[in-house]
Structure 1
């Protein structure tokens, strides 16, 4: 138990909405951490199942648990409200249907303390992407509370989902926080049919029509903080990753939706001024995205992309075939691993 007045090392903010089937496992994975001086903030976002009752029972049993109740307002409002009550030195935002490894918080906190970091990037996948990382999901970021409270205008945007965690982290990353890395932190992401992102992404138009609001948030941020070449490169990478790769390439859009998103991205890129990018900034963008920006319309890009995928598949198969002739097993295995990263199936 935490004694009154004790300042926890880490606050975990967990929005809760109708997840009673998974909530206890998520809560226990936090309370049973090897790092015990923690605060768990459960924000009950108007749940209509037994989630609220579960939160209350845990708060009664463990004084490290704080429950905040609110009418259903969405995950961004819940996270922001939890952050307001965070007393820890660091804060981690966790989903209520997931779990974390036993040493997740201790190892991340110790690394953050040792490096005096304002951000700890957690998880090997996200660590390997740095520094070419324009945004992070909540499961990949642990922040120093003092740093976040020093930038009170940067919060999870209300009414936006998905993309709210990317917008939040993108702006903070643009401020060049002192970063540390914990590749050993393991976050267990649960797949199930009732996940918010599956429900939200089922309505593609709803997602697409939120993107102009993403751009408005970014315009306001860079108007205040300035458009240095480094920040413009950071912004260009965000546009490539979020609306282009995650929405255009990885979502099954129809012709009307593709046309809408194509025009939206190209117009915004012209507005922010691609000419402001340095040569290095332009070359940091993938050839596929550079082609997208110069294609003229979505049909011309799609024709190019079909050829690109076909050629990429042929090259991948050819290289895997040639790898059979590498005589030693370890070099052969390492070569194939590099191929899988370069040419994911």
Structure 2
């Protein structure tokens, strides 16, 4: 049986309201040579049934039902089962325009290891093919590092499998960026495409980007972002000496701030002594560097930065609780 050119992986969890639109948008692609993997991550609404109904209608669809393990777990199951030469991701509550796969499947694809389509409106990115140090330099200078979601990208399945690149299931925010950084470290060429407005991202109250997770999960995300930054600096040292890396280091700062903020967010409710223990266990080098690249005009952010850098953790905890209650009262959280 001939391998499909592209495996489209869709993690599905309780998205019955959006799922049919998502699947239909994929089946209507002008590019036909693909398989569609619908990974039902233990949905308890009608999402699983909807997947099965579509699989009966189109032999390009494969449905895999699994116990709930989160979006990274679902994507990893998709990666394990993907038979295509290339892999792309679409979220179950999003949709794509008819030309989405055709645009990603560029003519000179075999000469590259990654296709990235910019989807950030404020980035002026043009179509370009890059390799080696120029690839890393462009990725940093163009600030594409801000667009690290798995969508609008085409990954080489052989490279993914050879290097065992999967999503980190312990990290629940920023795991898609970590996945991309692992992949970038293993390749030496890529194609960048300007924004074509062909991916329709839907953000709603249940979206992952609206949630905070445990300190442990958020802090592990920060540590991994920091580690990958150091690895890239070691591999492409002279590039990092000559380009502005504020966008990258801002992502590291943002991950650090999220981890600290998690201690005063909804769940779990950390007790005072537990909070102090976790904060005091943070290495001084991390608090010393925090906020150096994360510019902000918000007074509350500046105050948080000041208290953390000073390691005045009792005062920070009291302030963060008051700030959290204030934002809850006025509906800002």
Q: Smaller-chain TM-score range?
A: 0.5 to 0.7
Aligned runs of 1:86-97 on 2, under 5 Å?
Answer: 86-97=82-93
> Aligned-pair RMSD on alpha carbons?
4.2
Change over 3 Å in CA distance of 1:211–1:229 after alignment to 2? farther
- Find the partner of 2:257 among 245, 248, 252: 248
> Does structure 1 residue 169 correspond to structure 2 residue 180?
yes
The answer to which structure has the higher helix fraction is: 1
Query: 2:206 aligned with 1:194, yes or no?
Result: yes
Contact 1:100 1:188 in 2 (8 A): yes
1:131 equivalenced with 2:139 (yes/no)? yes
Are 1:23 and 2:19 matched, yes or no?
Answer: yes
Count of aligned pairs: 274
Say which of 105, 112, 120 aligns to 1:109.
Answer: 105
Structure-2 separation of matches of 1:287 and 1:161: 22
After TM superposition, the structure 1 = structure 2 runs for residues 1-345 of structure 1, keeping only pairs within 5 Å, are 5-111=1-107, 113=109, 116-125=111-120, 128=124, 130-132=138-140, 133-134=144-145, 136-152=148-164, 154-183=165-194, 184=196, 186-198=198-210, 200-201=211-212, 206=214, 208-215=215-222, 217=224, 227-230=234-237, 233=240, 240-245=249-254, 248=257, 264=282, 267-268=285-286, 286=293, 288=295, 298-299=305-306
**Structure 1 alignment gaps of length 5 or more:** 272-284, 290-294, 303-345
Structure 2: segments with no counterpart, 5+ residues: 126-137, 266-271, 297-301, 310-333
CA distance in 2, matches of 1:84, 1:231: 36
Structure 1: how far apart are the matches of 2:249 and 2:279?
12
Q: CA deviation at 1:108?
A: 0.7
**Structure 1 length as normaliser, TM-score?**
0.66
Equivalent residue of 1:131, what SS?
Answer: helix
Which structure carries more relative contact order (alpha carbon 8 Å, separation 6+)?
Answer: 2
From the superposition, tell whether residues 229 and 11 of structure 1 become closer, same or farther in structure 2 (CA, over 3 Å): closer
C-alpha deviation, 1:265, in angstroms:
8.4
The answer to which of 178-187 and 65-74 deviates more is: 178-187
**CA shift for structure 1 position 214:** 2.5
